[in-house]
Chains A and B, each alone.
Chain A
Amino acid sequence: MLPRNGMSLPAGRLLQVMFFLLFPLWGHATETLNLWHSYRGAERTAFEALIDDYNQSQSEIQVKALAVPFGGYADKLSAALPRGQGPDLFIIAHDRVGGWASAGQTVAPIDRYVSERILRRFPDKLLDAMTFAGDLYGLPLNFKSPALILNTDLIQTAPATTDELVALARRHTERSSGRFGLAYSYTEPFFHGALMNSFGSGPFDRGGSLNLDSEANVRSLEMLTRWVQQDQILPDEPTSTLVTSLFNQGRAAMVISGPWMLGEIAPQVNYRVEPLPINSETGQPLAPWVAVEGLFLSPWSSNPKAAVAVMDFLTRRQSAEKMAIEGGQLPANVSAFEHPRIANDETAMAFRRQLEAAVPIPNLPAMALLWVPLENVLKKVVKGAAQPHAELQLLQRRLSADLARLERSRARGDGPVQMPGWLWLVPLLLIAVAIGLWRRYRRKLTGSWRANRTAYLYILPAMLGMLVLVFFPLIYGLLLSVTDTTVFNEHTPLWSRFVGLDNYAAILGDFHLWRGEGSERSLDFDNFYWTLFITVLWTASNVALAVGLALVLALALDRPIFGRSIFRMLLILPWAIPSYITALVWKGMFHPQFGVINQGLQVLGFAPVAWFDSIGASFFTGLVTNVWLSIPFMMVVILGGLQSIPRELYEVAKVEGAGRWFQFRSITLPLLKPVLIPAVVLSVVWTFNMFNVIYLVSDGAPAGANDILITKAFRIGFEKYQYAYAAAYSMVILALLFCYALWQTKVSRTLEGVR
């Protein structure tokens, strides 16, 4: 079964090639175009029906669609496309276009394949979203923007201005019983865009340069802070799941959300969608950001003309109507809104009206750098932990520096590229060194091979696998870390990006532990040494707790007791259930307003804790979750180890009158050591690099203070596009762990010597 499935593709291709070689004139060749998307549910069914229609409408081109889960979609595209793999066509939201177009080799312009006739289908706004630096990169398929959703049992008429909105919301807010006039994910920049854009031009000025600390943006933050702190119309720590739950239970009179929420509104809730109100301070309508899903073309497509023909088919009016009616999409081909079934759909038409005021998310590459730091600023400011103006100024300075870095790397990539002559010496030198080493150690090596052939043969298969799959990535990382590779110069030759040890110097030489002046002075959580401190603390506390508790539980389970197998089964459960959902359950349990932990505290008479506001509490959330997740594994390892301890030893000890504690110290622990030490070493390494728990539970809250080195490296690489800097971070992690492992083996060996 396995090889057949594995090999079917190349074999199939070979047959195909032979077939065409033998019968070159035999009818039309059907060509397959691959299309990737991340739809599911009704949207997917409607879309695949459309693809079937296309495949049946003609015989030359067959489109093959592949659905990829959202969580892996962008990674899959950015792994495949720049390497000449991947689909001919793909569907994704437009805000990545700028980054990908700048990176090159990921997405291709389609200007020369599309006619005026096709372009006339779409509003200019949506075409602008697909355009970067003057080139059109795709055709818009549908749009998604937030709007106001009312619970019509509570509110009949929509507020026309923000003042009315606040007044109305205040009337429907009753915090003690968990009722709110308004609920939305207000700390997410995507949602805050509506306010920002109604005050001014958003994070960028008209020329496209970063303008975060503008008067307009400060005012937008001040308005939001007023809503949260003075008017108190909004719930704490809003996530999209919380907003939906509140609305479904009639505990949120109004929510700001998009078409994606409609499917999840409970059937007993009566609702209506309305465009967002007018900002009372500026007289401009709140202008939410709109994400435009587009059809994009791969630069490697063998038949771009046919691919664009597919785009043409998928965006024509009939297709748009089908996607709207059966798939629930808001089609970018707005003529579809004239179809009677859509024109009579109040909800769809409300979103259509909202589009008039909406603004496409800026598709500049710089936008990708903005999401996370801006979210941190929003979280801080609405809690009153920082002033809008000062905080935005700080962010502006910081992001400008990041952008300048990216620009420098681009300038370097644009410069004249010639391979320096001395580079030829490197391989020669390597060969010379290899020959030298071989000569020097030949006798020793062959001798050792002859003496230990059996041992080497036993190890060889495992070693070979490791060499291929582990050490190549390591060398790749090492090479990357001595360059200044970013998204802009990824495809220039390696030697043109060489910067030596600059990245390491920047990381290790960063002693700016403090930021701000006077009373504003605070620890700089982006500093390497702070992150290192947190990482060491995180690792030490996790491993100590997990190993200690697992040892206690394993000892309790080792001897027979009533219900032992049931306990064993229960205690192993956290390992068996995918940690993705359990980590999020823990996050939900720590929710300051609705989490059970705070409710439990209140039952016991304690004050609730704002879990994600302070460094200690937030650290604790991650710690608890990770210990909970890692105990079962540790326990199983120790249980296995306990099996190899001969029972006779205990009997002898008992006869000699040794107590429990003495037995544990002198028999159990020493005999468990060969198993325990590798387990401890490995769990230190894993916990040091534990990405998921931090990312899912505390997400470095507050403001990145609880990030560990690995999440920091990820943010630098994937949220700031500085691949080389992230690689250098990883090499530093590697070096630190290597030193730890050396130390640990040395210590355990000296212990051995003592015994």
Chain B
Amino acid sequence: MNVVLGRARRSVPSRFARILSDIFSWRFALLVFASLLVAYPLLWVVSLAFSGQQALTLVQLPADASPAQHLHALIPLPERWTLDNFRALLSEQPFLRWLGNSLVIALATTAVGLSLSCSAAYAFSRFRFAGRERGLMLFLISQMFPAVLMLIPLYVIVVQWLGLGNSWLGLILVYSITALPFCVWMLKGYFDTLPYEIEESALLEGASRWTIFTRIILPLARPAIAVTGLFAFMTAWNEFILASIFMDDESLYTVPVGLRFFVSDYASEWGYFAAGSIIVSLPVMLLFLALQRFLVSGLSAGAVKG
């Protein structure tokens, strides 16, 4: 008991010391600077969302403004904080329903995309077979053709040939295949870094390829799967044009489609759009929070020794 207390008492100042030394390190200064740069444009979005207006008030400085006033003008703050934009956003349209639709589609895309790409990437990484290099290149080529010009052919295939217009299945299919090339290439790269010795010994002990793949490789590749999963999710999450072209039923729209209602050639409600953007980014942040533990500590480091 005494020992524990003593240790705690000692560790408080040492923790403080560590924090202090962290704060005064170059690394910390760099991170603070980078975070400020990254966050600054987003502050404009946030203050627009909470301003209750559709456009931010332009700074109005007196002719003989002091430097302090000048500096203050650079910080984006709404004149008053209000939730009006959020309220209007949620009441005018079935926004939450669209958010739900998007979640289902994006999660399904992640699942389909990951399962297709994990198996393909495993084969590309661990087998040597005829057509391996060409196959990898094929995946890459698919990313090279400009997406704006794929619209009509995709419409022809998905809506006219497969009859998947106005259904989520069509969107999930298109999104997960769009995400495939990145996922396959990325996962193949990660699989390549995993040492082959573990598999060899498992093979010697009589494990099948499938067992090795699901029991050894996939758990080891969790950081990679987290990254590619996040990517697949984002592919589906923010896509606007295909979703608005494929869906003929407002109750099936996804959330980017709903957001775009606020922008038109003539007048745009940027306040609603900003509020919507913030709501839309929340699930992504939650997902990242859930996944980030895979990006923190070296998971594979221990496995190699065993």
Among A83, A454, A644, A710, the residue within 8 A (CB) of B127 is: A454
Among A76, A633, A644, the residue within 8 A (CB) of B300 is: A644
Q: How far is the CB of B221 from chain A (nearest CB, A)?
A: 9
A686 to B150, CA, bound (A): 15
Question: What residues on B are CB-neighbors of A72 within 8 Å?
Answer: 240-241, 244-245, 257, 260
Instruction: Indicate if A645 sits at the interface (CB-CB under 8 A).
Output: yes
Say whether, besides A640-B227, A645-B298, A675 and B167 are in contact (CB < 8 Å).
no
Task: Mark interface residues in A395-433 (1 if CB within 8 Å of B CB, else 0).
Answer: 000000000000000000000000000000000000000
Residues B239-268 near A (CB distance < 8 A): 240-241, 244-245, 248-250, 252, 256-268
Kindly report which residue of chain A lies nearest to residue B18, judged by CB atoms. A562
Do A646 and B304 have beta carbons less than 8 Å apart?
Answer: yes
Question: What residues on B are CB-neighbors of A473 within 8 Å?
Answer: 145, 149-150, 153-154, 157
Do A459 and B174 have beta carbons less than 8 Å apart?
Answer: no
Instruction: Indicate if B200 sits at the interface (CB-CB under 8 A).
Output: no
Q: How far is the CB of B176 from chain A (nearest CB, A)?
A: 7
The interface size of chain A toward B, counting residues with CB under 8 Å, comes to 145
The interface size of chain B toward A, counting residues with CB under 8 Å, comes to 154
Say whether, besides A260-B266, A459-B124, A462-B117, A469 and B173 are in contact (CB < 8 Å).
yes
A575 to B238, CA, bound (A): 10
Kindly report which residue of chain A lies nearest to residue B61, judged by CB atoms. A177
Question: What residues on A are CB-neighbors of B180 within 8 Å?
Answer: 462, 465-466
Among A177, A242, A557, A573, the residue within 8 A (CB) of B31 is: A557
Do B227 and A681 have beta carbons less than 8 Å apart?
Answer: no
Do A83 and B38 have beta carbons less than 8 Å apart?
Answer: no
Instruction: Indicate if B11 sits at the interface (CB-CB under 8 A).
Output: no
Do B67 and A603 have beta carbons less than 8 Å apart?
Answer: yes
Kindly report which residue of chain B lies nearest to residue A259, judged by CB atoms. B266
Instruction: Indicate if A270 sits at the interface (CB-CB under 8 A).
Output: no
Interface on chain A toward B: helix, strand, loop, or mixed SS?
helix
A632 to B37, CA, bound (A): 13
Residues B55-75 near A (CB distance < 8 A): 55-63, 67, 70-71, 73-74
A552 to B29, CA, bound (A): 13
Q: How far is the CB of A630 from chain B (nearest CB, A)?
A: 12
Residues A538-596 near B (CB distance < 8 A): 549, 552-553, 556-557, 561-563, 565, 567-582, 584-586, 588-589, 594, 596
Do B304 and A571 have beta carbons less than 8 Å apart?
Answer: no
A341 to B157, CA, bound (A): 51
Do A85 and B159 have beta carbons less than 8 Å apart?
Answer: yes
Do A636 and B55 have beta carbons less than 8 Å apart?
Answer: no
Do A70 and B176 have beta carbons less than 8 Å apart?
Answer: no
Say whether, besides A70-B260, A578-B280, A741-B140, A260 and B267 are in contact (CB < 8 Å).
yes
Say whether, besides A6-B164, A451-B129, A628-B41, A556 and B260 are in contact (CB < 8 Å).
no
A531 to B42, CA, bound (A): 32
Say whether, besides A251-B58, A636-B230, A455 and B123 are in contact (CB < 8 Å).
yes
Do B184 and A462 have beta carbons less than 8 Å apart?
Answer: yes
Do A477 and B145 have beta carbons less than 8 Å apart?
Answer: yes
Question: What residues on B are CB-neighbors of A579 within 8 Å?
Answer: 238
Kindly report which residue of chain A lies nearest to residue B67, judged by CB atoms. A603
Question: What residues on A are CB-neighbors of B154 within 8 Å?
Answer: 469, 473
Do A472 and B135 have beta carbons less than 8 Å apart?
Answer: no
Instruction: Indicate if A492 sits at the interface (CB-CB under 8 A).
Output: no
Say whether, besides A553-B34, A568-B292, A578-B259, A730 and B146 are in contact (CB < 8 Å).
yes
Do B142 and A466 have beta carbons less than 8 Å apart?
Answer: yes
Question: What residues on A are CB-neighbors of B186 within 8 Å?
Answer: 637, 675, 678-679, 682
Q: How far is the CB of A613 from chain B (nearest CB, A)?
A: 21
Do A576 and B281 have beta carbons less than 8 Å apart?
Answer: yes
Q: How far is the CB of A549 from chain B (nearest CB, A)?
A: 8
30 contacts between A and B (CB under 8 A): A6-B168, A9-B167, A10-B163, A70-B263, A70-B264, A72-B245, A177-B61, A246-B58, A261-B266, A452-B127, A452-B129, A454-B209, A456-B123, A462-B117, A462-B180, A473-B145, A474-B141, A477-B153, A561-B22, A563-B31, A576-B281, A585-B45, A586-B41, A639-B227, A640-B226, A678-B186, A681-B185, A682-B181, A717-B149, A738-B141
The 5 closest A-B pairs by CB, nearest first: A72-B244, A6-B167, A473-B153, A452-B129, A458-B123
